[in-house]
Amino acid sequence: MISIKVILIGDSGVGKTCLIQQYTSKEFTEEHITTIAAGDKSFKEVKVGEKTLKLEIWDTVGQEKFKSVNKIYMNQAKIALIVYDMTEQNSFNNLPNWYKELKDKNDSVEIIGVIANKSDLYEDKVIDKEEGENYAKSIKAIFYETSALDYDSVAAAFEGLTKNYVNKKDEEERKKTEEERKKKEEEDRKREEEEKKKLKLEASKHNEDKEKKKDKKKNDGRRWCFIF
């Protein structure tokens, strides 16, 4: 089974740990649970078409309070969720810093999600959906609105991103196969051309020999005429 590392980044308090808990164990706590999930990895299997993938979801140990996470956390992650709290302007303003952190410390990320969390608190919303969507577009990320209280919204984000990852990989594989096929075709064509050239050369050499033989016969014939 393919195992892929998934990380969540974003300001402290935006709901990263809650999102992971909801997705992996369908639970929600009101507490800010930095210690329970300290550096934990949670696992979840996702089926995409014929494939089953094992998501290895990493949670921070609260180090994001210092606006930074370490390289070990970032490394090798294929999917990254950059989370903000839609009721908290600062968490949205900090998205570019988190994106930069990701780009600086990770060289393997394939799919990025921008997650607008706490959609259940829509009355306190300060960031419009459109703003979030625009930011996501600007970094070629996929936008999702979630509430850590609502399993379906959380699963839609994790699974949507996983699907995109699988599709991207499939497309790359398809392109690679297509390129290899084209390369082989080109090689076959070249070989055929060489073969044709060789045959042509042999044929013209054969004709030349024939002509030479004919000339020789003619000359020999003439010589006999002189003798008679």
Q: Does 78 bind ligand GDP (CB under 6 A)?
A: no
Q: Does 69 bind ligand GDP (CB under 6 A)?
A: no
Q: Does 91 bind ligand GDP (CB under 6 A)?
A: no
**Least distance (Å) between residue 102 CB and ligand GDP:** 16
Site track for ligand GDP across 97-116, x = CB under 6 A = --------------------
**Least distance (Å) between residue 160 CB and ligand GDP:** 17
Q: Does 149 bind ligand GDP (CB under 6 A)?
A: yes
Choosing from 147, 158, 165, 166, the residue that interacts with ligand GDP (CB under 6 A) is: 147
Q: Does 132 bind ligand GDP (CB under 6 A)?
A: no
Rg of the chain taking only CA atoms, in angstroms: 34
Cα dihedral sign for 118, 121, 122, 124?
negative
One-letter-per-residue 3-state SS of the chain: CEEEEEEEECCCCCCHHHHHHHHHHCCCCCCCCCCCCCCCEEEEEEEECCEEEEEEEECCCCHHHHCCCCHHHHCCCCEEEEEEECCCHHHHHCHHHHHHHHHHHCCCCCEEEEEEECHHHHHHCCCCHHHHHHHHHHCCCEEEECCCCCHHHHHHHHHHHHHHHHHHHHHHHHHHHHHHHHHHHHHHHHHHHHHHHHHHHHHHHHHHHHHHHHHHHHHHHHHHHHHC
Using CB under 5 A as the binding rule, the residues of this chain from 154 to 193 that contact Mg ion are: none
Using CB under 5 A as the binding rule, the residues of this chain from 6 to 25 that contact Mg ion are: 16-17
Instruction: Report how many residues bind ligand GDP under the rule CB under 6 A.
Output: 19
| Contact predicate 142/136, CB 8 Å | yes
Nearer to Mg ion, 16 or 78 (CB): 16
**Position closest to ligand GDP via CB:** 15
Nearer to Mg ion, 34 or 87 (CB): 34
Nearer to ligand GDP, 55 or 115 (CB): 115
Nearer to ligand GDP, 30 or 107 (CB): 30
Choosing from 148, 157, 161, 166, the residue that interacts with ligand GDP (CB under 6 A) is: 148
User: Site residues (CB under 5 A) for Mg ion?
Assistant: 16-17
